[in-house]
Amino acid sequence: MQLQVLNSPFNQEQAELLNRILPTLTESQKVWLSGFLAAAQFASVPGSGNVQVADRPVGITAPTVSKDVTILFGSQTGNAQGLAKTAGKKLEGEGFQVTIQSMSDFKANNLKKVQNLLIVASTHGEGDPPDNALSFHEFLHGKRAPKLENLRYSVLALGDSSYEFFCQTGKDFDTRLGELGGTRLYPRFDCDLDYDEPAAEWLAGVLNGLNEAEGGSAVPEPEQASQLVESTYSRTNPFKAEVLENINLNGRGSNKETRHLELSLEGSGLTFEPGDSLGIYPANDPELVQLLLEEMNWDPEQQVIVSKKGEVLSLQDALLSHFEITTLTKPLLEKVAPLSANEKLQDLLAAGNEEQLKQYLEGRDLLDLVRDFTPWIGAAQEFISILRKMPSRLYSIASSLTANPEEVHLTIGAVRYEAHGRERKGVCSILASERLQPGDTVPVYIQHNENFKLPQNSVTPIIMVGPGTGAAPFRSFMQEREEIGAEGKSWMFFGDQHFVTDFLYQTEWQKWLKTGALTKMDVAFSRDTDEKVYVQHRMLEHSKELFEWLQEGAHLYICGDEKHMAHDVHTTLIEIIEKEGGMSREKAGEYLAEMQQQKRYQRDVY
């Protein structure tokens, strides 16, 4: 809209000013402006009293609700953090003043001052808060938590419905904030792995809640989930990366198969830093899809709708690339139960059978389900509409973009095991191991992870603990540090089964040791000795020096299995700090917690 000076009461200068600002205004800002002008007109009407327009910035009544919004995120892999940032941008575009912080950076004592709070939190492990949410979660559930009668809040919870404690951290925050007197400005949303659309819906609801409290207009429903994701190539618009190399890193006779995958990012514009991850959308095993089609007597070429947008694929292609068929969840069984005429499925889902259901879900897939609970009465379209969309798999990036421009390298361990009388295969790892060849393409995106980053000062010492495929991000760290000429000391702890067959990237570690890029390396090969030796044992052997490094300000990183390795290493660190620092167990725990708060103790665990 352009103002014509001839047809308006404004002079040339005023018209130019208005023409510059009007196109930049959001809908909520235009509503604010119209209210402001209405109040000004009201003030000039005889008998309207001594109304000062400055006292009425929104319509006729003074605002009672703050335009300040605080967004706190608890994120392990970066999903919650990414959603918090994009939600913040959307809110700022609607005229709100937004503060976005990690829960670990937020001063809990300031919570009492916050009027509008948005929580975006993932759940880690078995219902646990992510590392950067631990302290805030503990504070909120402790005796020092304040009454929050003036707080309005909403929670976006991220999780995985295949886990028993689905979205537990978000549920904890939502319940506790309510107990402390807070008022929900919009109900909590619990998101499964495919979180884009529900997250966009949640944000639209939050905006409506904020605007309604201020007397503003409602925000239109989101047309598509992309309102919450970045443009160009992203999680919802992956880049098809070409496979350049696919090499088995393990030697002949190894019990393991670890693939080194090199992908081209040429033409994508995608960038990353050491510590970030790559998301891959894999395809299901064609043999498993064929068995499923035969079991259900479905026509592979039948056309089925696979999304709310009406996207159509053949049934075979839908099962190959669009839907998850290797994991069973309680919500899936509940949705599919009406399509089965088998009473045993109803019995399994009956109240009081939680433990039996949990045991059934463990290690079984969709083929097991359709075989175990025949006959099925639903059509193929009805059945597949219940399935979860294929989730991406995240892998720690094993290369530096500085050292390898327009490439990304991954370290992927092949997953194979027996369960319930059948061989099981990891969806993405076996795709990489058995079917991906140089020249093939795979859909990928970058998952930025601000919670696993090299120190800003390259002089700062670093300690890296990464057995097996946990070595991946540390290869990226070392390549980057070599490129920039980092002067700080570095110490790597690596472990695996056998020295001869399983020393991943051995020649590269030896080269870095020789050039001095890597200061120290300690290895543990558990199957080469009568007594199993792991990385935490090597750490204990060097406890005095390790503690000295910590006292010098070293940053310590752990990557790998959370349940066993990362837990054992954490416990070992407390023992080392307790012993070498002459502290109590409690003080040693506080020392490590303080390191975590300072971002000197970071974990990339799964």
Q: Domain limits of the chain?
A: 5-55, 68-227, 239-282+391-447, 300-384, 462-605
pLDDT of residue 17: 63
CB-based contacts of 547: which residues, under 8 Å, 6+ apart? 576, 577, 580, 581
Starting at the edge strand that comes first in sequence, how are the strands of the sheet with 601-605 ordered? 520-525, 490-496, 462-465, 555-560, 601-605
Q: What is the average pLDDT across 162-185?
A: 94
pLDDT beyond 70 at 152:
yes
Place of tokens 């879900």: 361
CA 9, 12, 18, 19 dihedral sign is: positive
Q: What is the average pLDDT across 153-161?
A: 95
Place of tokens 């235009």: 30
pLDDT of residue 378: 84
pLDDT beyond 70 at 3:
no
Q: Which of 293 and 15 is assigned the larger pLDDT? A: 293
**In angstroms, rounded to a whole number, what is the distance separating the alpha carbons of residues 5 and 170?**
55
Q: What is the average pLDDT across 440-465?
A: 96
pTM, two decimals, is 0.80
Confidence of residue 26 (pLDDT cuts 50, 70, 90): low
pLDDT of residue 37: 52
Q: What is the average pLDDT across 322-329?
A: 96
**In angstroms, rounded to a whole number, what is the distance separating the alpha carbons of residues 162 and 331?**
9
User: pLDDT tens digit string along 105-147?
Assistant: 999 889 999 999 999 999 987 889 998 999 999 999 998 899 9
Nearest CA to 578 out of 588, 593, 586, 569 is that of 588
User: pLDDT tens digit string along 351-392?
Assistant: 889 999 999 999 999 999 999 999 999 899 999 999 999 999
Q: How far is CA 183 from CA 73, 105, 148, 483, 537, in A?
A: 19, 24, 9, 52, 50
CA dihedral 144, 171, 602, 109 (to 10 degrees): -20
Q: What phi and psi, each to the nearest 5 degrees, are found at residue 349? A: -90, 0
Tokens of 231: 């443009």
Amino acid at 513: L
pLDDT of residue 109: 86
H helix runs in 22-115, sequence order = 27-44, 79-93
CATH class label, 239-282+391-447: mainly beta
Confidence of residue 230 (pLDDT cuts 50, 70, 90): very low
Nearest CA to 258 out of 470, 48, 414, 29 is that of 414
pLDDT beyond 70 at 589:
yes
The CATH number assigned to the domain with range 462-605 reads: 3.40.50.80
**In angstroms, rounded to a whole number, what is the distance separating the alpha carbons of residues 318 and 313?**
6
Confidence of residue 212 (pLDDT cuts 50, 70, 90): confident
Q: What is the average pLDDT across 232-256?
A: 95
Q: Do 462-605 and 68-227 have the same topology in CATH? A: yes
Q: Which of 395 and 131 is assigned the larger pLDDT? A: 395
CATH T-level assignment (fold) for domain 68-227:
Rossmann fold (3.40.50)
Confidence of residue 246 (pLDDT cuts 50, 70, 90): very high
pLDDT of residue 144: 87
Determine whether 524 is exposed, middle or buried from the number of CB atoms within 10 Å of its CB (0-12, 13-18, 19+): buried
Least confident of 143-147, 545-549, 576-580: 143-147
Q: What is the average pLDDT across 541-570?
A: 95
pLDDT beyond 50 at 443:
yes
pLDDT of residue 34: 54
Residues of the chain with pLDDT > 90: what percent? 78
DSSP strands (E only) in 185-238: 189-191
pLDDT of residue 300: 97
Place of tokens 């495929």: 469
Tokens of 239: 């880049």
**In angstroms, rounded to a whole number, what is the distance separating the alpha carbons of residues 452 and 518?**
19
Q: Which of 59 and 448 is assigned the larger pLDDT? A: 448
Question: Mutual orientation of helices 543-551 and 567-580 as an angle, nearest 10°?
Answer: 80
Least confident of 129-133, 225-229, 315-319: 225-229
CB-based contacts of 198: which residues, under 8 Å, 6+ apart? 189, 191
Place of tokens 């805030």: 136
pLDDT of residue 308: 84
Q: What is the average pLDDT across 500-517?
A: 97
- Name the CATH superfamily for 300-384: NADPH-cytochrome p450 Reductase; Chain A, domain 3 (1.20.990.10)
CA 526, 362, 279, 596 dihedral sign is: negative
Kind plus residue range of the DSSP H or E element containing 174: helix 168-179
